[in-house]
Amino acid sequence: MNPCKALLPAVVAALLVPATSLAAPPAQAATPLTTGSVRLDIASGRVEGDVCVSNLPDASKGSFVLNAGLNVARVTDGDGKPVGFDGWYDPGVDGEARIYTLAEPAATLCVQYVGAFPVYARHDAPTDFKGLMAFNGDSARFTEQSAWLPQAFDSKTRVRSSESRYDLQVHCGGCRFLYLNGSPAIEGAQGRFRSDNPRPVLLFGGSGPITCTAQVTILNETLPTAKVDALSSTVQKIADVHSRYIGVPLADRPTFLRMVTLNQIERDREGSEWGFATWPTIAMSGSIGNVADSLLAGGEKAERRVQYIAHEMGHYYFGTLNRPQGPYFWVLLESSAEFLSIKALREISGDAAADRYIARLQSAIDKTDKPLPAFDAIDDNSDLGELYRYGYGPLLLLSLEKQVGEAKMQAFMRELLAAPSPKNWAELQGIAMKTGIDAKAWEHWRASCVAGGRQRCQ
């Protein structure tokens, strides 16, 4: 029995929000499709893959990466013909992965591989991080960063194709449940997972509990009903606000994943926590119950969690339906999600909460003495650090809203979602003009808030 059905069938979801011109996701560049099967075993740490990747980006048809702990048995094209490759000796390395170079570019790449990893059943590993293929004795955690599946690799830009559509069969010895990012979790030790949306492919298999409501999936931890309800109702509220604002139903629901890290003993001793979000997965080393506790406590504790969850849920739009590229990548991905989270915070927790949050962002900008790249002069070389992505970018969007009004700003955000990523300022302005923002207002915003990388509008 599968307790975690696909949560919002498209037909039902469509009824929740008025139809708009945005029903179809925006046009996207070719996205890889990963198919095949992977076997793993929780007790032994062994992993075996027989996986093909097709629809590769042109620039990435000549190489691929795979976790350094995995051994390539053979590489073939889509028809089973062997493909020669380099990487046996003196291989190139990209972080936690080895780089393999094909003798000739292949449109479809099939890789058979096998490897085994240390099992830290006592949680006493020297380290843990997102790039490890992590076996902790009762679970396996392979994130997209760990390259547990072959990923096409552009050797010029050194960029991995870490997001993929997939159709994968997974067998996991010792697992009670299996979860692949972007698909409903299943109870059982094997299953077939499919996603037509490109996703960062994260696998988690474990022997712990699993809870599914219409709004949330909670993996590897049992929570009392009151806490599950607190999470569910917050997620529901955020989904409603986002769906209404963007005019496209938020079809994903978050999966909260409790991790017991490989070095959990040390973390517990230090009282340190670690987490990451790979939409729709929100993973944390501490208890998911802490999130629910904060929501139930109310006040600023709750506000922070609401804003955080709303930010992550914003990545359904900016990151999943629209996958940003180019010089505005970080702003389109993170500042947009942040802007949406502030909208949700205002509706759910009130004006005071939203204003407090905005004031915090502004004060972080006021404090920096690092010059901010001017938003109207950004190119591929611009260094948009965390402060820019999560602080300055959202403040710029808010100042634009002040200039043009809420209705036009909403139209602008919807158009940003529907349009291919702007490649320069003129294209960004084109998107604004298309949504009825007047050229004078745009120019006034540029001159008073944007030009020269101002820290505040003048």
- As measured in angstroms, the least distance from the Cβ of 13 to Zn ion is 23
Q: What are the tokens at 336?
A: 């947009």
By the 8 A CB rule, do 97 and 62 touch?
no
Number of residues this chain uses to bind Zn ion (CB under 5 A)? 2
- As measured in angstroms, the least distance from the Cβ of 169 to Zn ion is 31
By the 8 A CB rule, do 275 and 282 touch?
yes
Please, which residue, 232 or 335, has the CB nearer to Zn ion?
335
- As measured in angstroms, the least distance from the Cβ of 375 to Zn ion is 19
Between CA 142 and CA 260 the distance in angstroms is: 13
Helices (H), 180-263: 225-246
By the 8 A CB rule, do 53 and 65 touch?
no
DSSP run (H or E) holding 309 = helix 299-314
Between CA 214 and CA 255 the distance in angstroms is: 11
State the distance between the two ends of the chain, measured CA to CA, in whole angstroms.
61
Please, which residue, 337 or 449, has the CB nearer to Zn ion?
337
Please, which residue, 51 or 396, has the CB nearer to Zn ion?
396
By the 8 A CB rule, do 342 and 354 touch?
yes
Please, which residue, 128 or 334, has the CB nearer to Zn ion?
334
- As measured in angstroms, the least distance from the Cβ of 306 to Zn ion is 15
- As measured in angstroms, the least distance from the Cβ of 337 to Zn ion is 5
- As measured in angstroms, the least distance from the Cβ of 281 to Zn ion is 13
Task: Tell which phi-psi region holds residue 438, choosing left (phi > 0), alpha (psi between -120 and 50) or beta.
Answer: beta
- As measured in angstroms, the least distance from the Cβ of 318 to Zn ion is 8
In the sheet with 70-76, reading across from the earlier edge strand, the strands are 70-76, 109-116, 46-54, 33-41, 163-173, 190-200
- As measured in angstroms, the least distance from the Cβ of 341 to Zn ion is 9
List phi, psi (to 5°) of 38.
-135, 135
Bridge partners (DSSP) of residue 194 are 167
Bridge partners (DSSP) of residue 159 are 154
Please, which residue, 97 or 309, has the CB nearer to Zn ion?
309
Could you say which residues in the range 138-157 bind Zn ion, by CB under 5 A?
A: none
Q: Name the amino acid, one letter, at 111.
A: V
- As measured in angstroms, the least distance from the Cβ of 307 to Zn ion is 12
Sign of CA dihedral 160, 83, 39, 42: negative
By the 8 A CB rule, do 147 and 66 touch?
yes
Which of 152-160, 197-205, 218-226, 337-345 is the region at the interface with Zn ion (rule: CB under 5 A)?
337-345
Sketch the per residue contact string, 282 through 321, with Zn ion: x for CB under 5 A, - otherwise: ----------------------------------------
Please, which residue, 97 or 310, has the CB nearer to Zn ion?
310
Could you say which residues in the range 317-336 bind Zn ion, by CB under 5 A?
A: 334
Please, which residue, 66 or 337, has the CB nearer to Zn ion?
337
- As measured in angstroms, the least distance from the Cβ of 443 to Zn ion is 30
Q: What residues contact 306, with CB distance under 8 A and at least 6 apart?
A: 234, 238, 295, 344, 345, 348, 349, 353
Please, which residue, 117 or 357, has the CB nearer to Zn ion?
357
Length of the chain, in residues? 458
Could you say which residues in the range 24-63 bind Zn ion, by CB under 5 A?
A: none
Give the closest residue to 134 by CA, choosing from 257, 20, 11, 21: 257
Between CA 28 and CA 413 the distance in angstroms is: 18
Between CA 446 and CA 67 the distance in angstroms is: 45
Please, which residue, 98 or 389, has the CB nearer to Zn ion?
389
Please, which residue, 96 or 334, has the CB nearer to Zn ion?
334
- As measured in angstroms, the least distance from the Cβ of 314 to Zn ion is 7
Sketch the per residue contact string, 150 through 189, with Zn ion: x for CB under 5 A, - otherwise: ----------------------------------------
Strands 97-102 and 92-94: antiparallel
Please, which residue, 337 or 395, has the CB nearer to Zn ion?
337
Which chain residues interact with Zn ion by CB under 5 A?
334, 337
